[in-house]
Amino acid sequence: MKPTDTSNPDYFHKVVDCQWACPAHTDVPGYIRLIAQGRFSDAYMLNRKSNVFPAILGRVCDRPCEPACRRGRVEEKPVAICRLKRVAADNRGDITDRLPKIPATKNGKKVALVGAGCASLAVANDLMPLGYECVMFEALDRPGGLMWTNIPAFRLPPEVLQEEIDMILNMGVDLRLNTPIESMQALLAEDYDAVFVGTGAPKGKNLEIPGRYDDEAHVHIGIEWLESVAFGHIDKIGDRVLIIGVGNTAMDCCRTSLRLGAKDVKVMARKPRGFFKASDWELEDAEEENVEIVINHSPKEFVIEDGKLVGMNFDLMEYDIDDNGRITDTRSVGEEFFPCDDVVLAIGQDNAFPWIERDIGMEFDKWDVPVVDRRTHESTLKGVFFGGDAAFGPENIIWAVEHAHQSAISIHKHCHGEDVADRLPDGMSLATVKMGIHEWSYSNDYEGAERMIVPHVSLAERFKQLNIEVELGFDAEQAATEVERCLNCDIQTVFAAKLCIECDACVDICPVDCLTITANGSEEELRGRLQAPATNLEQDLYVSGELPQTQRVMVKDEDLCVHCGLCAERCPTGAWDMQEFSLFHPHLKDELSPDAPGKFRKYGT
């Protein structure tokens, strides 16, 4: 293999699995270390820089970071990254004076933001400090979008949501509530320099099977129903409820049903476990509340008697699953009736743009959604940008935030007549963390504790009101232990081949056998003859240049490295060093700075 090119920021970035997996590339190990030091406000601000809504996301993020976490490969469970974010948010001090300053003199550019959800809010967060005038249009009477309408209050308390929304609105956003935009053409005719569409994926999927419209009062579309509950328009439901679908919206629907008085709630899944769309932790939370998840039942028809819904018929499904876990064959082996009083359909969402005229020069694709550039977020109509679920279909809040950061850059470039595609690339800096002969500026000892479990309000207590937050958050001791479970993957093992004397000290001490000094070979062949076989192909091999004494190479399998630093401690020549990796992932303010990469510094370093 050729020596690994570590000058490309992607190489070390990938080693930080959590940060790589996070759409906004939040500096997870960085903020976890700040929490460990009790610097909650600093941790909050480091989060806010990337993900804008730390308190909200610390409760309801989809957590792409956690399945990626290296700790989950070293032992069973990943670090509770998301809940540590909440620790920072819950314990922070007043950070008002650390929020971006809004210039009194505006820059004369005016941007329309359609929808007041996470995407539009995050765009405003990036634009306002530059003197933009942001006009935000919201159809409902409250800002927040799906964070407010679709996420139940028992998971995300309204005051937490409001506080982080207000941080942005208080920058001077011109928020116009109860103002649905009904014509893109009309909006474009106004004097806006750019338009950002962050209207989400507002259309819940329907289930067109017999009986669907025979008792409409008792068949609900999940996201619309959740919205009605959030507004207080719906405050009860029948005793027996069937939820169709097994995604995260289904989990919110079943748990909300219980709080509206349902006694028997079943989630009906078409496929077996392992094929569910819902996150494991959301499934766990629902099952803790005694929701039954019924697998292998495909909806066939609504059963109506005397004009009233009495239940549903399902096809009983059987699947052939191959060794790779893929379904190879499907068949119906029978039929089963489930009685119920209400049905909630939670089988997905679609984008819908009935308010965008199709003849204004904006290209739509075969699914009738606008064609949007993945990088610039610009539609084919110059000056109109899309972000959040409106851009590429339903994803999640953290994706919407990243879309917003990228859209803000594009909007700025568009408003100033620059090429929206000409953007700063990612960069990085590496700095040694050596403090003394055997001392590092991070906690390198391995914490053996298992993942801490977030305490919950008791089952008896939590159903008393609709808005009792179920999760209590980590207490101080739990947080102190959980932060130490982080492996500090951003503290990189950096190797200088020319210094190596091939004494084997690093190879001998490595607790997870990830180092090997060996003759070079092809990647496939090398992977098989390392100290321990490198079977995780998603994780790179770090291969050095030729070593001076024997012309062999040092190979590191990044997969299971616990970043304990012992290789560097046992290295007599400093060939191995532990260096803190800082990612430079440009936001709008960085684009404006003439020496952006050099100016970049982490909080707390």
Partner 1 sequence: MSYISKPKVTHPGLPRNELGMTIREYEGGMSTLCAGCGHDSVTRALVQAAFELSIPPHRMAKLSGIGCSSKTPAYFLRQSHGFNSVHGRMPSVATGANAANRDLFFVGVSGDGDSLSIGLGQFAHAVRRNLNMLYVIENNGVYGLTKGQFSASADIGSTAKKGEENLQPPMDPCQLVISLGGSFVARSFSGDKEQLVPLLKAGLMHDGFAVVDVISPCVTFNDHEGSTKSYQYTRDHYHPAIFADYIPPSEEIRAQYDEGDAMPVTLHDGSQIVLRKADPDYDPGDVASAIEYLQRHRDAGEIVTGLLYIDEQKPEMHALNKSVAEPMSSLPFQRLCPGSGALKSLQDRFR
CA dihedral over 505, 506, 511, 515, signed as positive or negative: negative
Closest CA to 428 of 3, 20, 41: 20
CB atoms under 10 Å from CB of 430, counted, come to 16
User: Is position 551 an interface residue for partner 1 (rule: CB under 8 A)?
Assistant: no
Q: Which is nearer to partner 1, 95 or 532 (CB)?
A: 532
Binding to partner 1 by CB under 8 A, coded x per residue (else -) over 442-461, reads --xxx-x-------------
Residue labelled with tokens 């929304």: 165
Applying the rule CB under 8 A, the residues between 465 and 504 that interact with partner 1 are: 501-504
Q: Of the candidates 234, 494, 509, 596, which one interacts with partner 1 according to CB under 8 A? A: 509
User: Is position 74 an interface residue for partner 1 (rule: CB under 8 A)?
Assistant: yes
Q: Nearest distance from residue 83's CB to partner 1, in Å?
A: 22
- For 376-464, where are the alpha helices, taking DSSP H only? 389-392, 397-415, 459-462
Q: Which is nearer to partner 1, 339 or 511 (CB)?
A: 511
Q: Which is nearer to partner 1, 28 or 500 (CB)?
A: 500
Q: Of the candidates 543, 560, 578, 583, which one interacts with partner 1 according to CB under 8 A? A: 560
User: Is position 310 an interface residue for partner 1 (rule: CB under 8 A)?
Assistant: no
- In whole angstroms, give the CA distance from residue 144 to residue 501: 59
Those residues with Cβ within 8 angstroms of residue 477's Cβ, 6 or more apart along the chain or in another chain: none
- In whole angstroms, give the CA distance from residue 223 to residue 225: 5
- Candidate ranges 69-77, 82-90, 586-594, 596-604; the one touching partner 1 (CB under 8 A): 69-77
Q: Nearest distance from residue 16's CB to partner 1, in Å?
A: 19
Q: Nearest distance from residue 502's CB to partner 1, in Å?
A: 6
User: Is position 566 an interface residue for partner 1 (rule: CB under 8 A)?
Assistant: yes
Applying the rule CB under 8 A, the residues between 75 and 114 that interact with partner 1 are: 75
Residue labelled with tokens 């993942």: 451
- In whole angstroms, give the CA distance from residue 554 to residue 506: 10
Q: Nearest distance from residue 492's CB to partner 1, in Å?
A: 18
CB atoms under 10 Å from CB of 456, counted, come to 15
What are the percentages of helix, strand and coil residues in the chain, rounded to 5? 30, 20, 45
Q: Of the candidates 180, 511, 528, 598, which one interacts with partner 1 according to CB under 8 A? A: 511
> Strand pairing partners for 197?
114, 386
Q: Nearest distance from residue 532's CB to partner 1, in Å?
A: 4
Contact 584, 440 (CB under 8 A): no
Q: Nearest distance from residue 535's CB to partner 1, in Å?
A: 7
User: Is position 439 an interface residue for partner 1 (rule: CB under 8 A)?
Assistant: yes
User: Is position 210 an interface residue for partner 1 (rule: CB under 8 A)?
Assistant: no
- In whole angstroms, give the CA distance from residue 267 to residue 277: 13
- Please provide residue 548's backbone torsions phi and psi, each rounded to the nearest 5 degrees: -60, -40
User: Is position 562 an interface residue for partner 1 (rule: CB under 8 A)?
Assistant: yes
Q: Which is nearer to partner 1, 151 or 489 (CB)?
A: 489
User: Is position 546 an interface residue for partner 1 (rule: CB under 8 A)?
Assistant: no
Q: Which is nearer to partner 1, 416 or 529 (CB)?
A: 529
Closest CA to 584 of 129, 13, 6, 5: 13
Q: Nearest distance from residue 571's CB to partner 1, in Å?
A: 6
Q: Of the candidates 108, 533, 593, 601, which one interacts with partner 1 according to CB under 8 A? A: 533
Query: 392: which 2 tokens?
Result: 């590429």
CB atoms under 10 Å from CB of 141, counted, come to 8
User: Is position 343 an interface residue for partner 1 (rule: CB under 8 A)?
Assistant: no
Residue labelled with tokens 């489930």: 338
Residue labelled with tokens 């069973």: 76
Which residues make up the interface to partner 1 (CB under 8 A)? 73-75, 438-439, 444-446, 448, 501-505, 508-509, 511-514, 532-533, 535, 549-550, 560, 562, 564, 566, 569-573
